[in-house]
Amino acid sequence: MYLLLVFLSIIGSCLAGLFGRYLGSWGSAIITTSCLFVSFLISLFVFYEVALVGCVVYIKLATWMSSEVLHIDWGFMFDSLTASMCVVVTFISFLVHLYSTEYMSHDPHLPRFMAYLSLFTFFMLILITADNFVQMFVGWEGVGLCSYLLINFWFTRIQANKAAIKAMILNRIGDFSLLIGIFLIFINYKAVDYATVAVLTPFFKAKSVNFLNIDVNLLTLIGIFLFIGAVGKSAQLGLHTWLPDAMEGPTPVSALIHAATMVTAGVFLVARSSFIYEHITHVLEYITIIGALTAFFASTTGLVQNDLKRVIAYSTCSQLGYMVFACGLSNYSVGIFHLTNHAFFKALLFLGAGSVIHAVNDEQDMRKMGGLKNLVPFTYSMMVIGSLALIGFPFLTGFYSKDLILEVAYGKYTLLGYFSYFLGTLGAFFTAFYSTRLAYLTFMSKPTGHRKVICYAYDSGPQISIALGCLAIPSMLVGYYTKDMIVGVGSHFFGTAIYVNSQNINIFDAEFISTFYKTLPVKLSLLGVISAFILYNFQSNLLFKIKVSNLGKKIYTFLNRKWFFDKIYNEYFGQFFFKFGYSVSYKFIDRGIFEILGPTGLSMIALKVGSSLHKMQTGYIYHYTLVILIGATFLFGIRQVWLLFGFFIDYRLFILIFILAFFIINSLNDKKITE
């Protein structure tokens, strides 16, 4: 049954993908959706048995690799961390499947789409249920691959192709460093399963390894490399540029990638590797900084985006920043708690956005919507619930996790704690601002869309409404019901799944920070909501004046161009690698060195030597006699020369001379051609 949870999705995927032609759109949709529904029910059971009752389940399926000390099993481990992730993933994925059956119903490739979605879910389940790093890497790569396939689903659009390639490549950068991390673990621990690594880690505290000729602490190195992997997958600052571009795929895909599955993998990895990170506090500090910066960066960028989905994408990026810095401050359970809550309301937001986009004839620009409040009331209410949960409106889901993150950040009483607290609080203000802006521009302002579009806007059909409704309930209630269970003081929920060094625990300190700082995030969020509403409703002229003023224009451009990250990457990295690829690796090495030393060069030089030797036969007798004379002299003299200089000549020099001869003859030839 535990295995069924994982493998139902691949069964559905194979059926829909391989036999989609015979099953038809509806057949494959029903099969995949029902598979996911069953696996959601099973995951509920798993959650009950593993997380609530407390029976950790470990299933060793088969041996995968066994060679010398390398021993890797197909093992599935269900502890409370995995179980809670399983519930989230299968729930969101099931609803996304259900939603897609209507959202994509007019697409001729619905079976393929459903197959990809199910495959994605399967790989995500493999990722979270793995009991070793290598199996986790299978899932890690699998979700990367599936994100490529799904972003590129409408493969006839060049933007989708570019976005998919970008997502794949930026993820590969992270995957590469994750691989290095796994290699380092294997080389030093001689094992890759979590249990062994966790047990052995304290013994490696002082061990340093030689990496690129520098002696570094082993755990530091592993921690950094694993974290760079997480940076790529979770779109943290540095490797975040793929995430907003991934909006090119269909909306359910965005919901799946950005809410429940792919981007959460990075946070999951950090939480799963807590037994390593807890021994290297300085790496945790870097994680905190990166997370806090991401939270701030993405929320400021979200302020001025005009694409409905892009705003939500930046919001995802920002919320992931919160999770990561929560993990960086050793509050992994809080990070995971925010992850689960975020999954619900972000999926709600994305699916609601999809419903809006559906209603206004696939228009994504918020400036061309407006006034949809009365036209799509159900979607409107769902989006408002999602937005309020996102901005941490009191007693909705987001409030419980986000405020807790900020509280524990302040309760750390370190410089980094304050740093991340203030960036996070400012980010919360901006989050509230852009969420309100989104809601206002889309629903409340005067209609600004085309008359033909607005007139035919209507609420979506049953499947979309059911999916939205099912997500709205946990978006409101999950935080309230599970807070004490997951992150309550003294809660035993995660048990051994997450290890926190007793020196790093500060959940008690967070209880005693002053009320002002405790309530500051909520106050700022509410201020953000109110100010955004007032500014957009009554003072839009003032906003316009700010936008066209000299300083305002600069700030607007800076934020609207996403802090120029893309520009810098394209101009400095992209251009550099293109140039390198053409002029160095292609023109210099492939067409240069390999051409001269390779078969082409050899045959060309043999020909050239032959022709020049042939030229020595001039046909003049006196030339022949001269050659004979020289030859005879040489033959007589060579022995004497050898006796004198033989001692100094190294045979290996001949190889050098041989290679040099290639270049000399080649350059002579070039000179002749140019002349």
Partner 1 sequence: MLTISINYILSLTCIIFFIGLIGIVLNRKNILIIIMSIELLLLAVNLNFAAFSIYLDDMIGQIFILFVLTIAATESAIGLAVITVFYRLKNSIQLDPIRKKITKKV
Least separation in angstroms between CB 626 and partner 1? 5
- Tell me if 603 contacts partner 1 by CB under 8 A: no
Please report how close the Cβ of residue 167 comes to partner 1 at its closest, in angstroms: 56
Contact status: 636 vs partner 1 (CB under 8 A) = no
Q: Which range binds partner 1 by CB under 8 A, 22-30, 256-264, 619-627, 653-661?
A: 619-627
Site string (146-185) toward partner 1, x via CB under 8 A: ----------------------------------------
Contact assessment for residue 173 and residue 235, using Cβ atoms and an 8 Å cutoff: no
Residue 281 near partner 1 by CB under 8 A: no
Q: Which is nearer to partner 1, 21 or 614 (CB)?
A: 614
C-alpha span between 319 and 299 (Å, rounded): 9
b/e per residue 424-433 (b: at least 16 CB within 10 A): bbbbbbbbbb
Interface of this chain with partner 1, residues 476 to 515, rule: CB under 8 A: none
What's the rounded Cα separation, in Å, for the pair 184 and 132? 14
Rank residues 214 and 613 by Cβ distance to partner 1 and give the closer one.
613
**Structure tokens, 592:** 């240069």
Residue (570 or 612) nearer to partner 1, CB: 612
Binding test (CB under 8 A) with partner 1, winner from 24, 610, 631, 637: 610
Nearest CA-CA partner of 666 in 614, 615, 616, 600: 600
Distance of CA 38 to the CA centre of its chain: 28
Query: How is 133-173 classified by DSSP, letter by letter?
Result: HHHHHHHHHHHHHHHHHHHTSSTT-HHHHHHHHHHHHHHHH
Q: How far is the CB of 214 from partner 1 (least distance, A)?
A: 57
Contacts of 594 (CB under 8 A, 6+ apart): none
# residues near partner 1 by CB under 8 A: 13
Query: Which position among 108, 490, 599, 619 is part of the footprint of partner 1 (CB under 8 A)?
Result: 619
**Toward partner 1, which CB reaches closer, 203 or 622?**
622
* Site stretch for partner 1 (CB under 8 A), options 58-66, 338-346, 594-602, 610-618: 610-618
Query: Between 534 and 629, whose beta carbon lies closer to partner 1?
Result: 629
Nearest to 87 by CA among 491, 474, 462: 474
C-beta of 545 vs 623, nearer to partner 1: 623
Q: What is the Cα–Cα distance from 48 to 52, expressed in whole angstroms? A: 5
Task: Among 199, 609, 626, 653, indicate the residue that binds partner 1 (CB under 8 A).
Answer: 626
User: Between residues 620 and 648, which has the closer beta carbon with respect to partner 1?
Assistant: 620
Pick the binder of partner 1 from 505, 548, 606, 629 (CB under 8 A): 629
The nearest distance, CB 611 to partner 1, in angstroms, is 4
CB of 620 to partner 1, least distance (A): 6
Q: Which residues pair with 67 in a beta bridge?
A: 70
| Backbone φ and ψ of 359, nearest 5° | -70, -35
CA dist., res. 79 & res. 83, Å (int):
6
Out of 516, 620, 636, 645, the only residue in the binding site for partner 1 (CB under 8 A) is: 620
Q: What is the DSSP-derived secondary structure letter of residue 563?
A: G
Closest distance to partner 1 from the beta carbon of 635 (Å):
16
Question: What would the DSSP string read from start to end of 71-127?
Answer: EEEEEEEE-HHHHHHHHHHHHHHHHHHHHHHHHTTT-TTHHHHHHHHHHHHHHHHHH
Number of Cβ atoms within 10 Å of the Cβ of 369: 25
Nearer to partner 1 by Cβ, of 611 and 674: the residue is 611
Cβ 148 to partner 1 shortest distance, Å: 54
Separation CA 134–CA 179 (nearest Å) = 9
Residues between 537 and 556 that touch partner 1 (CB under 8 A):
none
State how far the Cα of 386 lies from the Cα of 315, in Å rounded to an integer: 12
Regarding 616 and contact with partner 1 (CB under 8 A), the answer is no
Q: Does 617 bind partner 1 (CB under 8 A)?
A: yes
Q: Binding of partner 1 at residue 656 (CB under 8 A)?
A: no
Distance between CA atoms of residues 454 and 375, nearest Å: 8
CB 446 within 8 A of CB 370: yes
Give the DSSP letter of residue 210: E
Give the binding range for partner 1 (CB under 8 A) out of 89-97, 219-227, 603-611, 650-658: 603-611
In the complex, what is the shortest distance from the CB of residue 147 to partner 1, in angstroms, rounded to a whole number? 59
**Alpha-carbon dihedral 416, 421, 422, 427, rounded to 10 degrees:** 120
Report CA 334 to chain centroid distance, whole Å.
21
Nearer to partner 1, 542 or 606 (CB): 606
Window contacting partner 1 (CB under 8 A); options: 8-16, 461-469, 494-502, 623-631: 623-631
Residues 335 and 277 sit within 8 Å (Cβ to Cβ)? no
602 touching partner 1, by CB under 8 A: no
Residue 622 lies near partner 1 (rule: CB under 8 A): yes
Tell me how far the alpha carbon of residue 255 is from its chain's centroid: 14
- Under a CB-based contact definition with an 8 Å cutoff, are residues 301 and 562 in contact? yes
Out of 621, 635, 643, 644, which residue is the one contacting partner 1 (CB under 8 A)?
Answer: 621
- Choose which of 618, 634, 657, 660 interacts with partner 1 (CB under 8 A): 618
Query: What's the min distance (Å) between Cβ of 666 and partner 1?
Result: 18
Binding site for partner 1 (CB under 8 A): 607, 610-611, 614, 617-622, 625-626, 629
